[in-house]
Amino acid sequence: MKKSLIRKYARLIARVGVNVQKGQSVIINIAAEQEDFAAILAEECYRAGAGKVHVEFLSDKLSRLAYRHQKLSTMKKVSRWMEEKAQEEVDERAAKIHIMSEAPDALKGINADKFLKVSRARRAAMKKYRDALEGLQQWCIAAVPSKAWAKAVFPNEKPHKGVEKLWEAILATVYVSEEQDPEEVWKSRQALYEEKCKWLNSLDLRELEYKSANGTDFKLGLIPGAKFVGGGETARTGIYFVPNLPTEEIFTSPMRGVAEGTVVATKPLSYNGSLIENFSITFENGKAVSWKAEKGEDMLKTLINIDDNASFLGEAAIVPVSSPVGQTGILFLNTLFDENASCHLALGRGFNEVIEGSEKMTREEIIKAGVNDSLSHVDFMIGDETLCITGVTGEGKRVPILINGQWAEEAKI
């Protein structure tokens, strides 16, 4: 891949993704094998005005060794220096970039029960710092290819060719090319997202009903007055940023405790280094009460039981099958991309920003309004070419939202 395009991508992450401000601290989480890209991205953050860039290198190999050899009590412990580092992030309101590149099954075979207990302990210890940054921090999740990830996506290609093809696909989904300025393209994309949100928000929807040929038969409640949002967002500091690159979703947080029926996944879910495939989840009174998976059922059970609220929904997102990510025809085996090719739901924590005036509300008031609170947030894909979504308004009127995977006004009926 041409270095000029890779640098243009890094610039997009720094200036549009997190929108680095002059003098701001930036934290980059990235795999150790991606040192070269880390250096390019750090340089682009400095060029955008960053006062300090801190890179934290990650390693799935080291994580696997830790799960294999460390005692549970050791892994559950959150060291004082880790909390001090988290507090510094809060104090500085550092912009945060997470670069994904791991293989979808990088931690395959680790003990699911041990993973659950470690996750609970660590997330609980860090929750107060996450809550303190809610709505104040610019953050962005993006990706670069690794040999292992490319091998999973393109198993029949030679390693270098697979990486090249994955680079091409990633750059295409974020509109990075030699012919166009991606920063300008993203401005026009945001206008499209705002148009869809304006339409949905004008309907006064109270329910969404989902039906698909694969067996999905499901409905969820919506919070009265809660907004659909999409594309970029504005932090309470007034800084605009784009949390996900790519992004094609229009989403909201549903009413906690109001969901009935069964949803069937249409794509595998890569969850913390383990693949969950061909699965379904059944809800009663808003809660996931039963589930099954052909592969990875233990890990599915784990993510649903991270805490008492992880079994409730935190997000409902609409993505037409015609999205640019979907049109690549590639199963990325990575939620960042696959969720932007398909309608999806998320178990766990909801979004404050869907509530009008949330910046003036306490977390307790937002929860009381109906937004779920949890230590986790896990998206899973349920969209395909047969999915139909019908909205029900406050007056009981039924409005087609999605027909056979396409926005209703664009579908050929």
pLDDT at 411: 52
Residue 304, pLDDT above cutoff 50: yes
3-state SS assignment for residue 278? strand
Percent of the residues in the chain that have a pLDDT greater than 90, as a whole number = 81
Residue 111, pLDDT score = 87
Tokens of 151: 């091998």
CA 42 from chain centre, in angstroms, equals 23
> Quick one: average pLDDT of 179-202?
91
pLDDT at 274: 85
For residues 356 and 19, which has the higher predicted lDDT (pLDDT)?
19
pLDDT over 70 (residue 413) = no
**pLDDT above 80 (res 1):** no
Please give the pLDDT value at position 110: 85
pTM: 0.87
CA distance 98 to 88: 18
Average pLDDT score over the chain: 93
- Hey, which bits of 237-395 come out as E strands? 240-241, 250-252, 254-264, 269-271, 274-284, 287-295, 313-318, 344-348, 377-381, 388-393
Domains of the chain: 3-173 (3.40.1830.10), 182-407 (no CATH)
pLDDT digits (tens, 9 = 90+) for 61-95: 999 999 999 999 999 999 999 999 999 999 999 99
Sequential DSSP letters for 359-399: GGS-HHHHHHHT----S-EEEEE---TT-EEEEEETT--EE
pLDDT at residue 217 is higher than 70: yes
Q: What is the DSSP letter of 411?
A: S
β-strands 250-252, 377-381: how paired?
Answer: unpaired
